[in-house]
Each structure stands twice: as C-alpha cells, then as structure tokens.
C-alpha cells in the first residue's frame, strides 16, 4: 500500500524538523503559512508567514539548547487537504524537563502546508515549561 502524498509531506516535514533543516522545512510550507500555538506562554499565539514559523522552530531549538526531540507516532489524512499527526515531544529547558503528547492538524494547499493547529496533552504543563 502506497502512502498518501499528504502523509508523505508531513513525514518529510518531521524528518527535516528533527534534523534542524530549516531550508527543507521552508520548501514544504506556503509563503503565508500560519502555525497556531496554544497556551499563555512566550511562544503561544499565531505565527504568520514562512519566516515567522521558521523563527518559531529555531526558537524551539535555542530555548531548549537543542534538546527538543519529537517522536512521530502516526499521520492520518482525509484525502481532501487535511492531515493530523501525533507525537511525543521531549526537551529540557534550564532546570525543567518535559515529555508530553502533542498533535498537529495541518491544512495542505497545492502540496504544501498552509496552516498548522497545535494541540497538547496539557496546556498548563506546556505554559510552565516555556515560561
């Protein structure tokens, strides 16, 4: 059974993110992509535009001194331009550590990610970690 192109796109994005390959990440997103981060912490909010989203990802790395690791568990697609991914995120930041389940809901337009809605197992824990 072959993988749906939308699922393959999301897997490529996870692979690039894991390598810190922002150049490849940029090619997988539309210019006007938006990443919505839940919660009430310095990284929360709506990051609009390719450079703003890539800056968010760079900040994930700098804030955790490169310790952020994401283990992808599943990618689901609807065949109409939407995909969902489920992963475990692990990172250290100062004297804090986190291991948390997260999910991303993607909108895909023209073979590129145009919108990312992030969901988390525990918003309060994420806020404590990133604050």
Q: What is the mean pLDDT of residues 47-60?
A: 98
Residue 131 pLDDT: 95
Q: What is the mean pLDDT of residues 52-66?
A: 97
Q: What is the mean pLDDT of residues 2-23?
A: 96
Work out the number of other CB atoms within 10 angstroms of the CB of residue 86: 15
Residue 76 pLDDT: 98
Tens of pLDDT, residues 69-88: 999 999 999 999 999 999 99
Tell me how many degrees the CA angle 80-113-47 measures, rounded to the nearest 5. Answer: 130
The model scores a pTM over 0.85: yes
Residue 2 pLDDT: 84
Residue listed under structure tokens 């804090």: 96
What residues contact 46, with CB distance under 8 A and at least 6 apart? 34, 35, 36, 37
Residue 17 pLDDT: 97
Domain of residue 92 covers 5-130
Work out the number of other CB atoms within 10 angstroms of the CB of residue 128: 13
Tell me the CATH number at 27. Answer: 3.10.450.50
Q: How many domains does the chain have?
A: 1
Work out the number of other CB atoms within 10 angstroms of the CB of residue 123: 14
């Amino acid at each position: 059974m072959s993988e749906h192109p939308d699922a393959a796109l999301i897997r490529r994005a996870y692979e690039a993110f894991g390598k810190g390959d922002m150049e490849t990440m940029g090619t997988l997103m539309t210019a006007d992509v938006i990443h919505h981060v839940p919660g009430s912490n310095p990284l929360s909010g709506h990051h609009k535009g390719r450079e703003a989203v890539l800056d968010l990802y760079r900040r994930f790395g700098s804030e955790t001194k490169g310790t952020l690791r994401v283990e992808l568990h599943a990618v689901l697609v609807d065949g109409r331009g939407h995909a969902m991914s489920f992963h475990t995120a692990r990172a250290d930041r100062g004297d804090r550590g986190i291991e948390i389940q997260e999910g991303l809901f993607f909108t895909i337009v023209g073979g590129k990610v145009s919108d990312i809605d992030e969901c988390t197992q525990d918003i309060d824990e994420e806020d404590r970690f990133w604050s």
